[in-house]
Amino acid sequence: MDIGTHAQLAPNPVRRGEFAQPHADLREWIARVESIGELLRVSGAHWHLEIGAVAEMIYRARPGTSPAILFENIPGYPADFRILTGVTNSPQRLALTLGLPLSKQPLDVVRSYRDRMKLHRLTDNVYVDRGPVLENIDRDDAVDVFKFPAPFLHEGDGGRYIGTCCMVVMRDPDSEWVNVGCYRVQGHDRNTVGLRITPGKHGAAIRDKYFKQGKPCPVVIVCGQDPLLYLAAGNEVAYGVSEFAYAGGHRGIAFETLKSELHGLPVPAHAEIVLEGECMPDMLRPEGPFGEWTGYYAGARKDDPAVRVQRVYYRNSPILTVGAPTRPPFDDSFSKCIMKSAMIWDQAERAGLPGVQGVWCHEAGVGRLFNVVSIKQLYHGHANQAALLVAGAHAGNFANRFVVVVDEDIDPTNLFDVLWAMNTRCDPASHIEILRRMWTSPLDPLTRGGPELHNSRALIVACRPYEWRDEFPRVVEASPELRAATLEKWGHLLG
Ligand SMILES: Cc1cc2nc3c(=O)[nH]c(=O)nc-3n(C[C@H](O)[C@H](O)[C@H](O)COP(=O)(O)O)c2cc1C
């Protein structure tokens, strides 16, 4: 198979970082990650609890700089059936995945993303006839999702999850729109899996349209893929836009897809493991619980429409990609910080917000709950506009709780500085607004799993009041000139 080659450049020459060509597939991505020293190989860890606990140990030891982890020789499975986790939880791996200049500074990657979006053009997938994912096909009675080492990740989980760092592909029955979302997929038995989609997500809207017509919803579930497709699937892309086209726009070259045998849905030609089937309106199975991104077992075990799996396509020596959420920090908590910050910055500016110096969605808020924007205030009400747009941008709307606006002298990534600004420039009675009945998740522990899926938002303006900002007390610190001279003469004291 022509794994290492690329289709002709589509007319979308995005500016790229160190790697002139996009990676062809997950395997080339792994090789590149290893070449920059960010891959850890672990041999012999068991799919039952050990892989989850090892991942947790490593993410906690080095938040924001931990490596991707390739688990090999998993007991009970062929030695070459592997698991990859921690796909995008470092600034360098995120930049590498998006084809941006490599940097160890998170805000550099956020800025590069925002610059990229000024050139980004949707580049839809193209169809091809062959691809490595067709190396093996199991049909009907031969289907067994436990052929792959789907991990049992946390002690309180309700089962093994084959889809965590995955992408679920569906076609809108009313149009040609193909949506791709990352939704968790529990293995129930050899040919039945659960699919937990939060109400309000595009995948839920599409699935429910089929159900209203009394029809099953055709799905393709990709359980090992190019991390760029995973980023598109797991972050909020606009309604009606295909995540293939969004990811292809970053790549500069269209993704190659095959048509799935039964439903003609797009299957990435270089994917590792793909399930095809139908989500059945009347086939309810208890799903969960699963240790989730807020750090809790929220969103309890409940009956969900399950998917009957009719086909499994997979490459030789397949790699299952896994997301392992826990109390933060974990793999996706850092990935979300960069992606959300970048997407919110881009979306807020497109909505007309000037003067943005930086956006940072903090990891303690898992990239969603506690988001900070730094602005250079230009007019009355500018800070409130920033708060509203950050809270209301599609990328920042779901499950947010706090938005903090700070002045340009505050680094939004520095929690100490952000809290100092809140403590000194924000009068709670005057500078905090509350938005009510906003969209949240059953995984928000305060919703008790639903069905009420509203929460409130605090918009905290921690800026010098615009109308007397020039009279605001001066900050006590050495001037840049005095600091530079002191560093020159006395810097040796720092060791
Ligand atoms: C690792 C990971 C796991 C996720 N799990 C779920 C899930 O189980 N259910 C869900 O509704 N959203 C989940 N999400 C969030 C959605 O993927 C995300 O909101 C995405 O934008 C949804 O796509 P959509 O807007 O096209 O529906 C997950 C995201 C990631 C990155």
Q: What is the pLDDT of residue 12?
A: 57
Task: Check residue 14 and give its pLDDT.
Answer: 73
Q: Tell whether ligand 1 has an atom less than 6 A from the beta carbon of residue 227.
A: no
CA dihedral 412, 416, 417, 421 (to 10 degrees): 110
pLDDT at 4 over 70: no
pLDDT for the residue numbered 448: 85
Mutate which of 182, 343, 440 for ligand 1? The one with the most ligand atoms within 8 Å of its CB, which is 182
Q: Which atom of ligand 1 is nearest to the CA of 197?
A: 11
**Could you tell me the distance, in angstroms and rounded to a whole number, from the CA of residue 81 to the centre of ligand 1?**
25
Q: What is the pLDDT of residues 315-331, one digit of tens each?
A: 999 999 999 999 999 99
Q: Which domains does the chain have, with CATH numbers?
A: 26-322 (2.30.110.10), 351-471 (3.40.1670.10)
* Atom 7 of ligand 1: nearest residue by CA position: 183
Q: How confident is the model at residue 7 (pLDDT cuts 50, 70, 90)?
A: very low
Q: Which two tokens stand for residue 369?
A: 């709950």
Measured from the CB, is residue 202 less than 6 Å from ligand 1?
Answer: yes
Ligand 1 center–CA 223 separation, angstroms: 14
Closest-lying ligand 1 atom to the alpha carbon of residue 243: 26
> Cα(229) to centroid of ligand 1, in Å?
13
Q: Is 368 in the pocket of ligand 1 (CB under 6 A)?
A: no
Query: Is pLDDT above 70 for 187?
Result: yes
If one residue of 201, 335, 366 were mutated to test the ligand 1 pocket, choosing by the most ligand atoms within 8 A of its CB, it would be: 201
Stretch 206-217: mean pLDDT: 98
Confidence (pTM)? 0.95
Residue 183 Cβ contacting ligand 1 at under 6 Å: yes
Written as one letter, the residue type at 39 is: L
182 ligand 1 Cβ < 6 A: yes
pLDDT in tens, 427-478: 999 999 999 999 999 999 999 888 889 999 999 999 999 999 999 999 999 9
- Between the CA of 235 and the centroid of ligand 1 the distance, in Å, is 7
Q: Is the CB of 396 under 6 A from ligand 1?
A: no
Query: Is the distance from CB of 74 to CB of 85 less than 8 angstroms?
Result: no
Index of the ligand 1 atom closest to the CA of residue 179:
26
- Give exposure, 343-372, as e/b (b: 16+ Cβ within 10 Å): bbbbbbbeeebebbbbbbbbbebbbbbbbb
Catalytic residue among 243, 272, 278, 292: 292
Q: Is the CB of 340 under 6 A from ligand 1?
A: no
Best of 84, 183, 339, 440 for a ligand 1 pocket test (most atoms within 8 Å of beta carbon): 183
Distance 443 CA to ligand 1 centre (A): 12
Is residue 276 annotated as a catalytic residue, yes or no?
Answer: no
**Cα(202) to centroid(ligand 1), Å:** 10
* 211 SS3 class: helix
Mean pLDDT, rounded, for 412-437: 98
**Ligand 1 binding pocket includes 179 (Cβ within 6 Å):** yes
Q: For ligand 1, is residue 196 a contact (CB within 6 Å)?
A: yes
The overall average pLDDT reported for the chain is 95
pLDDT score at 2: 32
DSSP designation for 46: -
> How many whole angstroms separate alpha carbon 60 and alpha carbon 326?
10
Distance from Cα 377 to the centre of ligand 1, integer Å:
34
**395 sits in which H/E element:** helix 394-397
Phi and psi at residue 69, in whole multiples of 5°? -120, 125
198 lines ligand 1 (CB under 6 A): yes
3-class secondary-structure state, position 238: coil
Query: Is the CB of 201 within 6 Å of ligand 1?
Result: yes
Closest CA to 164 of 116, 107, 221: 221
Q: How far is the CA of 7 from the centre of ligand 1 (A)?
A: 30
Quick one: CA torsion of 331, 333, 339, 343, rounded to 10 degrees? 160
Cβ–ligand 1 distance for 270 under 6 Å, the answer no
| Residue 4 exposed, middle or buried by CB count within 10 Å (0-12, 13-18, 19+) | exposed
Specify the DSSP class assigned to residue 56: H
For ligand 1, whether the C-beta of 232 sits within 6 Å is no
pLDDT tens digits along 84-118: 999 999 999 999 999 999 999 999 999 999 999 99
Tell me, what's the pLDDT at 15?
Answer: 75
Q: Is the CB of 197 under 6 A from ligand 1?
A: yes
Q: Each residue of 112-155: pLDDT tens digit?
A: 999 999 999 999 999 999 999 999 999 999 999 999 999 999 99
Q: Model confidence over 24-79: pLDDT tens digits?
A: 999 999 999 999 999 999 999 999 999 999 999 999 998 888 999 999 999 999 99
Atom of ligand 1 nearest to the CA of 290: 8
Residue with tokens 């991505």: 29
Distance 451 CA to ligand 1 centre (A): 18
Distance, CA 82 to ligand 1 centroid (Å)? Answer: 23
- 344-359 pLDDT, tens digit per residue, is 999 999 999 999 999 9
Contact 38, 236 (CB under 8 A): no
